[in-house]
Amino acid sequence: MAPPSRPTLPPPSKTRPALTSSSVSTSSRVRARKTHSGGLPQAINTNLSAHPRTDPANALSVLRKLLTSLPSRIGGCQYKLTAAEHALSLHLISIIDPFVYHGVRALAPNPVHRKVPSAPATGLTHQPTEILDAILFHVDSRKDLLNVALGCKRLHDVVFPRHFDYRVIRCKVSSISVWNHLIKNRSLARNVRKLEIIDERASTPRGVSTGHKGMLVPRGMLQRDTDLDSTDDEFTMHSKQERFLAAALLRMTGLREFKWSCIHSPISIANVWPTIMMRAPNLRSMEIHDNLVFAPRITVEESSDESSDESGSDSEGEGSSSTTPGMTVVTAPSSLLEMTKVVFRSTSHSYGTAKQPDLGHISAMLHQCANLRDLEITYVTPRAGGANGSSRARPLADEFLLYSRWASLTTLTLANLRCATSAAPAAFLAGHPNLEVLNIDMGMHSNIIHLSDGSLPRLREVKASKDIINAILECPCETARPLESLKGFKLSGHSNNGCAVSSTRSVSDATFLGNLKRASSTIRSIELVGWHEMEDIRRLTACVSSIQHLDVGRRLGAVGARQTGANEKGTTNGPVANIIEWTELLAMLPELTTMHGVKFFYDVASAVVGAPILSSSSPANGLWSTSNSNSSPISASASPTPPIGGAPSTFGPAKTQPQVSMMERSRMRKNDEIAGVLAWKCRKLRRVDHWEDGSGKVIVLVRDHGNASEEAGVGKDKVRWEVRRVKH
């Protein structure tokens, strides 16, 4: 019997025993002690070429080794760099600096090739926030900012809190919380591009934009009045509002557009102008709607006695001044070289109007705008019976026209002003050879004006009286003027004996039309204010047969004259009585595309516009036939859309048939015939007046081109009339 076998023991393990935490810390301290004592020196290559700029991770590692070796040095060399090491450290910092923002992403190895470091990201979104904010500062348009913000979340977080909500601010002068917010945040105030001060009586809630009258403020602001708005004295309140507004304007260094529509406030734009001069060097456009800007200026001698008694009444802030309309304005010595467009308009309100309006404040403001290109000064006569007893006098512009000159002025509008003589406007027009658009409405002692030779050589469009236009046409020029549009004049008409009505203060129609005929080669558009007889329009069309746009305005009243023009207010909305006479007259204009001032079509209810007629109109007397789908919907596009009022059309099946009365059917057939006559007589005519005044609609003649008939010689083209809305 065999002895039992002994169990075999496993061989002794050759693995090292596990180290405890105490042993690990002891070994690390030993290694650190050896390193600091110089037992294991770290060799660092101080050659600059050995550290390429394309490897920021290696540069960071070398710089770390260099800095950690400083405490291990002995004696006076501790924490000191040699000259070579100092140059190496500067070189390494210059390599790391552009990549500091990337952090771990820039230093992470390539996941595909671990030995090759990944290329650092250099896109716009990887730039520091300060760099992105500086870049977006140069983007003025809110639409462009919105497109940038839609790129990614990082750009969105920079655009919306700091730029998008601050590009346009629209509020009242009394919105002290807005001005206080901009005063405290200078970096946000510099992002404002357009500032609009609206009327104090606007009742739109803050932060809500409902057109041009709504308030628009940054969404992150406090949307209620603060303790800054409370005051006990009304005069102190207005002084406080002006002081806060001026302080906020001092911080809007990036302002481009400024609009002032503060009508019912004692604060005038003349008080704010010195602040704008100091802190808005990049201002390009300014629009002022204020009656106080037309108030006469008071000299220092006149205002010193009045202000001596009230010198201690308001002592808040530096440079505090009275807010009366006649205050003395001290303009800053600087100038607005970027200003290109300025608009001054008064309002019909009686508040702030003066008995004798003046252009003194306007002249002082415009004196600082040397590179002005677009200027408009419009004075609106206030309502009668104002609280201050204002009269209907107009500002005198002789001094302004004699001493104001801008070499780059191209567009000029002067409305409802007066001159003592015609020499001032003649000198002003002669001193601005770059004028291209002229709109002048001025009353003079003598309407006859004489321009010097060569005046207005670049004029393209003029809106003025017949006398001023005649003076421009009579003025000789070396090269032909590119005059294309004439507006704002009226024809005086004829007397019963057939002689032209003339006056010593105005030129006759015969003289004017003779000069117009000599310059008719370039004229393409004419817009009249009014006319008397049909013969006036007939003689006008004979002089300018190549015009494309004609607006005859309204027919002026004449004793015993027939109703041959457009219907006046209060009469029926039917078409003009003598359609055949008008079509024969318009046939003399082969290039005519637009005709205004005469209604040719019958009034048709919008509910039946587009309803099909059972029997289409047939050609008669050689006229063009019209389509049985009379009117298309109101639309500015050429794409098919459903008709007005849900009426059926040829674009889809008809679901409901509107009830069309016999009178409406008759009117629509008459409109078809009129459209055929107009299209036959005026081959290029496309747009005429709608039967409703002020509706923003026109009637468009649409031609469906077809093949020509060789036998009859008449085109098979069909014409239909459509109602469309005019886009302004």
Strand blocks (E) in 449-552: 461-463, 485-490, 525-531, 549-551
pLDDT band at 212; cut points 50, 70, 90: very low
Q: What is the mean pLDDT of the chain?
A: 75
Query: Is the separation of the CB atoms in 40 and 30 below 8 Å?
Result: no
Q: Which residue has the higher pLDDT, 635 or 358?
A: 358
Work out the percent of the chain whose per-residue pLDDT is above 90: 33
- Does this model's pTM top 0.85? My answer is no
Which of 525, 526, 528, 491 is CA-nearest to residue 511?
Answer: 491
Angle at 407 between CA 406 and CA 413, to 5 degrees: 50
Question: In the structure, what pLDDT confidence band is assigned to residue 175 with cuts at 50, 70 and 90?
Answer: confident
> Please, which residues have CB within 8 angstroms of residue 663's CB and are 6 or more apart in sequence?
none
Higher-confidence residue: 385 or 58? Answer: 58
Per-residue model confidence (pLDDT) at position 699? 93
Q: CATH 1.20.1280: which residues of the chain?
A: 125-165
Which pLDDT value is given to residue 362? 93
DSSP for 346-409, please give it.
Answer: --S-STT--SS--SHHHHHHHTT-TT--EEEEE-PPPPSS-TT-------B-HHHHHH---TT-
235 CB-side CA count, 13 A: 10
Judged by DSSP in three states, 192 sits in coil
Least confident of 134-138, 175-179, 270-274: 270-274
Lowest mean pLDDT among 154-163, 290-299, 360-369: 290-299
Return the number of other C-beta atoms located less than 10 Å from residue 728's C-beta: 4
Residue-wise pLDDT tens digits, 440-469: 998 876 667 889 999 999 999 999 999 999
Query: In which region does residue 281 sit, left (phi positive, over 0), alpha (psi from -120 to 50) or beta (all else)?
Result: alpha
Contacts of 447 (CB under 8 A, 6+ apart): 422, 465, 467, 505, 506
pLDDT at res. 599: 92
CA-to-CA distance for 345 and 416, rounded, in angstroms?
11
* Residue 609: pLDDT band with limits 50, 70, 90: low
Please check the confidence at residue 383 and state whether its pLDDT lies above 80: no
Residue 118: pLDDT over 90: no
CATH class of 125-165: mainly alpha
State residue 459's pLDDT score.
96
- Separation of alpha carbons 562 and 581, rounded Å: 13
Residue 640's pLDDT is 33
What is the percentage of the chain residues whose pLDDT exceeds 70? 67
Whole-number Å distance between alpha carbons of 429 and 161: 49
C-alpha–C-alpha distance, residues 287 and 341, integer Å? 8
pLDDT in tens, 644-693: 333 333 334 444 555 778 888 888 899 999 999 999 999 999 999 998 88
**Residue 172 identity (one-letter amino acid):** K
pLDDT tens by residue, 660-674:
788 888 888 999 999
Distance CA 265, CA 248 (A): 18
The pLDDT of residue 460 = 96
Q: pLDDT tier at 139 (50, 70, 90 boundaries)?
A: very high
pLDDT tens string 65-78: 888 888 888 877 77
Give the separation between CA 192 and CA 473, rounded to whole angstroms. Answer: 46
